[in-house]
Amino acid sequence: MTQVTVITGASSGIGAATARLLGAQGHRLVLVARRQVELDAVAAESGAEAVAVIADVTRRDDVRRVVQTALERFGHIDVWVNNVGRGITRLPSQLTDDDIDQMIQVNVKSALYGMQEVLPHFLARGRGQVINVSSMLGRIPHNPLRSAYSGAKHFLNALTDNFRREVQPAHPGIQFTTVTPGLVYTEFGSSTLHPGPDSRTFPGGQSPEDVAAVIATAIATRLPHYYTRPESRQAVLDSHAGEP
């Protein structure tokens, strides 16, 4: 059966690259973002059965509408990719209530809504997969300017693991997967809250296509954790080596 995959944040960057790759692999896609022109362009490049849905996934009602649209169009959902996220450029001593609220709304609640709204369908079918795109900053909080983003991604990682622990004992066919990239050459740096340097100018990054390939592998193999670089796991272990 052809996979039906929902991708949020699909109008650019990792989401757009993932849409193009999965479309080429034959997935039927529901692509979600707020920007109509950009999303339509990605859908046109992602296969004849790619559907563009304009929605703001920080709003639960919009997420529920995406689920309904996917089911009306394709009859089922196999994979839900939570890819929406936004960074911040502000030191922890300067963070405001609004800074924290925005980081949680975009990076945590958008994924929470996706997991909660698609889960009843997965439970009814007895199978399905959620993929949450996290960050190495959710494993190693080494950049003070990104502290609130880092904290939100730690929260996302915890939610993903705990959804798995809640659901899998009775429903082993439902998987919750975390994909953890490091620096990726997207608009992320220049579009942060309180804009900072363009991360595409930094050395040592990955392309969105590199990350998309890992997401495709995660769908094919359904393991719970993926780093997008082979050395990342050891870097995480090393970062905790001095702790008691």
Count of residues in the chain: 244
Compute φ and ψ for 126, nearest 5 degrees.
80, 10
* Angle between helical axes of 208-221 and 13-24 (0-180°, round to 10): 50
Q: In angstroms, rounded to a whole number, what is the distance separating the alpha carbons of residues 155 and 220?
A: 26
Structure tokens at 25: 């692999």
Strands 225-227 and 128-133: unpaired
Of 113, 149, 185, 227, which is the active-site residue?
A: 149
CA dihedral 135, 141, 144, 145 (to 10 degrees): 0
- Residue 161 identity: D
Structure tokens at 82: 């939570």
Closest CA to 49 of 18, 3, 118: 3
Is 149 catalytic? The answer is: yes
Place of tokens 């950049």: 143
Structure tokens at 244: 């008691």
Q: Residue 44: which H helix or E strand, with range? A: helix 36-44
112 half-sphere exposure, CB direction, 13 A CA radius: 16
Q: In angstroms, rounded to a whole number, what is the distance separating the alpha carbons of residues 30 and 49?
A: 9
Active site residue ranges: 149
